[in-house]
Amino acid sequence: MFNGKAVILIVEDSPIIRMSAVDLMESAGYVALEAGCADEAIALLESRNDIDLVFTDVQMPGTMDGIKLSHHIRNRWPPVKLVVASGNAIIEEGSLPAGSRFFPKPYDGHAIADAIGLLLAGEAL
């Protein structure tokens, strides 16, 4: 049931970075869900129908990295918006699904929150 707040799924294997991202999303007024890997993220996406955006790291353990996860999400859940971040890789936005955004780490929390707000509003970045 929609409660007026967008639901953001944060996929990050580092607990400290994940907690920081959760705090950032909650401070921006969003509902934040957490997953430590792509497999956990997919399980959450399969069990819920209210996830509006996935904010994922690129490098993480499991069956797929954040790039593969973002393509999987776009193919299976096309309306879900995507933000991808990495501290070890520079990703060209052309390698991400259409409409996705990439941010290098360390990222500016305000820039992430602003980009998420624009994506959720359906505005081009």
In a domain, 20, yes or no: yes
Residue 2 included in any domain: no
What gap in Å lies between CA 88 and CA 86, rounded to an integer?
Answer: 6
Q: What is the mean pLDDT of residues 39-46?
A: 97
Is 70 within 8 Å of 82 (Cβ atoms)? Answer: yes
3 state DSSP class of 24: helix
d(CA 24, CA 45): 21
Q: Give Cβ neighbours of residue 104 (< 8 Å, ≥ 6 apart).
A: 85, 86, 87, 90
Asked whether residue 26 is domain-assigned, the answer is yes
DSSP E strands, the chain: 7-11, 31-35, 53-57, 81-86, 101-104
Count how many domains the chain has. 1
The verdict on residue 1 lying in a domain is: no
Q: What is the pTM of this model?
A: 0.90
Domain-embedded: residue 40: yes
Q: Is residue 77 part of a domain?
A: yes
> Using an 8 Å Cβ cutoff, are 89 and 42 in contact?
no
**pLDDT tens digits, residue range 101-115?**
888 878 888 888 888
Kindly provide the b/e burial profile for residues 39-61, where b requires at least 16 CB atoms within 10 angstroms of the residue's own CB.
Answer: bbbbebbeeeeebbbbbbbbebe
Stated as kind and residue range, the H or E segment containing 111 is helix 109-120
Under the banding of pLDDT at 50, 70 and 90, the label for residue 123 is: low
Domain that holds residue 81: 7-120
CATH code of residue 95: 3.40.50.2300
Query: Which pLDDT tens digit goes with each residue over 50-62?
Result: 999 999 999 888 8
Residue 47 within any structural domain of the chain: yes
96 part of a folded domain: yes
Higher pLDDT, 122 or 36: 36
